[in-house]
């Protein structure tokens, strides 16, 4: 009897590869070719099993929230925020969400250059241009904000090892220090899945180190977002990420949170997380929780 993979429900996709392997064995594939196929099937089976585990791993339970009610309550607090990295993909999407939801009386963009904004966006947005190499001279820019969003970052390929460390650690940490001194009570950091200060991989180690260093600043509330691969068509060319997105697109259909996440989900989750009162002083949101929070808050 042959195994059929037609019309399998989504939750049974993990059985497709083992079934296909049995199909090959039963048709009599042998010799070196058969061993190669069997080996590849085993690798695929392991891959699918890992993906399935990631997709179905437990996450902290979250109650459903009335986002509209939360927004209205938050507006009455007349709070302000700043955004670091608004010229990047996440920062740009975050800015759209903040403007659309109108939860802050003022949004300050802190960056190396001014951004071109539509006229309808200007009423609540202030732009401050700074030199990140001399941030101490711009301490006043960081004063008077209730919430700080940090989406600042670069890549080793673009900036080199030293440049990557300087941007993703030094600039981010210094900004957080100035924000804390300026009265910011809630700091929200975009990090990365797998961030670990003891990692042997530079990217993950630096992300983990800056997470820990900011935690030591003792904000009243500190939220760390660790998204997986961001699904977005970047304005700047990143061939490796383009290939990764093409590879992950079909996988994301069956396993939307295992390896990737839409960038809109990250931005929405950041905003909605701001609205929700938390008891935890430090919180780390992993990819699946970010996805669910963003999906449940679609406007």
Token pair 């001014």 in the structure block, residue:
114
Side-chain-facing half-sphere of 45: CA atoms under 13 Å: 13
Q: How many other CB atoms are found less than 10 A from the CB of residue 10?
A: 8
Q: The dihedral of CA 12, 243, 84, 263: what is its sign?
A: negative
Q: Tell me the three state secondary structure of residue 283.
A: strand
Cβ-contact 99, 138 below 8 angstroms: no
Q: Supply 171's token pair.
A: 């600039």
Residue 174: CB atoms within 10 A of its CB come to 15
203 given a catalytic annotation: yes
Give me the sign of the Cα torsion angle 225, 229, 231, 235.
Answer: positive
Beta strands in the chain (DSSP E): 80-84, 106-111, 125-129, 147-150, 186-190, 221-226, 229-231, 260-262, 282-286
The total number of residues written for the chain in this structure: 299
Q: Tokens 């079934």 appear where?
A: 19
Three-class DSSP category at 262: strand
Q: Which of 15, 52, 138, 203 is catalytic?
A: 203
For residue 207, indicate whether it is catalytic: yes
C-alpha–C-alpha distance, residues 91 and 83, integer Å:
7
- Looking at 74, 171, 180, 207, which residue is catalytic? 207
How far is residue 270's CA from residue 294's CA, in Å, rounded to a whole number?
8
Token reading at 160: 């080199």
The catalytic residues are: 203, 207
């Amino acid at each position: 009897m042959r195994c059929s993979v037609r019309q399998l429900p989504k939750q049974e996709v993990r059985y497709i590869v083992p079934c296909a392997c049995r199909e090959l064995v039963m048709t009599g594939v042998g010799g070196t070719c058969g061993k190669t196929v069997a080996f590849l099937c085993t690798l695929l089976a392991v891959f699918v099993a890992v993906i399935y585990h990631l997709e179905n791993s437990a996450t902290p339970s979250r109650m459903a929230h009335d986002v509209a009610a939360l927004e209205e309550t938050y507006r009455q607090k007349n709070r302000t925020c700043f955004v670091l990295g608004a010229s990047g993909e996440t920062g740009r999407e975050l800015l759209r969400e903040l403007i659309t939801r109108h939860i802050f009386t003022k949004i300050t963009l802190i960056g190396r250059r001014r951004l071109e904004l539509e006229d309808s966006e200007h009423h609540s947005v202030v732009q401050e241009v700074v030199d990140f190499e001399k941030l101490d001279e711009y301490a006043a820019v960081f004063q008077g904000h209730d919430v700080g969003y940090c989406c600042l970052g670069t890549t080793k390929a673009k900036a080199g090892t030293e440049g990557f460390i300087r941007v993703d650690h030094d600039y981010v940490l210094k900004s957080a220090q100035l924000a804390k001194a300026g009265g910011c009570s809630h700091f929200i950091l975009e990090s990365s899945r797998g961030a670990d200060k003891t990692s042997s991989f530079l990217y993950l180690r630096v992300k983990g180190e800056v997470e820990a260093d900011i935690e030591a600043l003792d904000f009243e509330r500190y939220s760390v977002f660790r998204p997986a691969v961001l699904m977005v068509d970047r304005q700047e060319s990143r061939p490796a990420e383009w290939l990764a997105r093409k590879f992950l697109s079909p996988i994301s259909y069956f396993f939307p949170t295992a390896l990737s996440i839409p960038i809109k989900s990250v931005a929405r989750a950041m905003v909605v997380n701001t609205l929700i009162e938390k008891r935890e002083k430090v919180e780390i949101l992993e990819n699946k929780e970010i996805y669910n929070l963003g999906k449940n808050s679609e406007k």
